[in-house]
Amino acid sequence: MENICSEVADFEKAYHVIIGKPALVKFMAVPHYTYLMVKMPGPHGVITLRSDIKQAFSCETESCEIAQPAEEQAGREQIREASTCKTEDDDLPSKKVAKITSNEKKQIALDPTDSSKFTFIGTQLDSK
């Protein structure tokens, strides 16, 4: 028998306990997430803790149902905060897009076998 110190969070949750890495290291336990089991050395051989797939699915579903309203609320608050805050871009002048005439651009083929696939590049660019 071993004692493990842990912190308890007071919130609604689906699982009764979540074993973290410190506990796994202390018990030299190896979790097998695919098979829903944990193996660790014991005084008379390997101790295997198995889980029930139906119970695990039920806990996962319940966790999603608990988390969804909180996630939606956080999203709404982010949107509300973003809409009321003044951003740095509000003080900047609007960017102007330069118009390029046909003699200032060069057509480049993107696919040598298909002449319909091409793009243009400016010819007035810096050598850098």
Would you say 81 and 33 are in contact if contact means Cβ atoms under 8 Å apart? no
Secondary structure (H, E, C), 55-97 = HHHHHHHHHHHHHHHHHHHHHHHHHHHHHHCCCHHHHCCCCCC
Q: Distance between CA atoms of 39 and 4, rounded to whole angstroms?
A: 18
How many helices (H) and strands (E) are present in the chain, helices listed first?
2, 5
Residue by residue, pLDDT tens for the chain (128 residues) are 777 776 666 666 655 566 778 888 888 888 888 888 889 999 999 999 888 888 888 888 888 888 888 888 888 888 888 877 665 555 555 555 556 666 678 888 888 888 888 887 777 766 66
In this prediction, residue 48 carries a pLDDT of: 92
Does pTM top 0.85 for this prediction?
Answer: no
Q: Distance between CA atoms of 57 and 44, rounded to whole angstroms?
A: 32
User: Who contacts 48 (Cβ-Cβ below 8 Å, separation ≥6)?
Assistant: 37, 38, 39
